[in-house]
Amino acid sequence: MIWRFDRYDEAKAMTDPVDALVLDLLEWIGPSPRPYAEVIAAWRTSCPRLPVWEEANVRGYVAQVRAEGGPAMIAVTPAGVAALAPRRAATERRA
């Protein structure tokens, strides 16, 4: 079975209660890729109400990268960086 997500409705999704956790995941990964195993151990859940890892993937906020001969790594994509921008701007305004 192949799952295909043709369209992601950003306006609808950003009202979802999972949004804050997705952004937390992106902040946790940070600017440098982290090992896939570490990310999955920390963020994968079997709770259907908190599909943080799954949502980040569907939204295109994270990607798997692999250097030749190296382990699978997870990186924040440009879309993920853009999703974090409003949060970071709000944090800077409060500081």
Please write the tens of the pLDDT for every residue from 37-91: 999 888 876 666 668 888 999 999 999 999 888 999 999 999 999 999 887 777 7
Residue 46: the pLDDT is: 63
Q: Kindly report each contact of residues 8-16 with a partner whose C-beta sits within 8 Å and lies 24 or more positions away, as own/partner.
A: 8/58, 8/59, 8/60, 13/55, 13/59, 16/55
Contacts of residue 58, defined as CB under 8 A and 6 or more positions apart, other chains included, come to 5, 8
Give the predicted TM-score (pTM) of the model: 0.73
In order of their start, the domains of the chain are 10-94 (1.10.10.10)
* DSSP 8-state secondary structure symbol assigned to residue 70: S
Please write the tens of the pLDDT for every residue from 26-46: 999 999 999 999 998 888 766
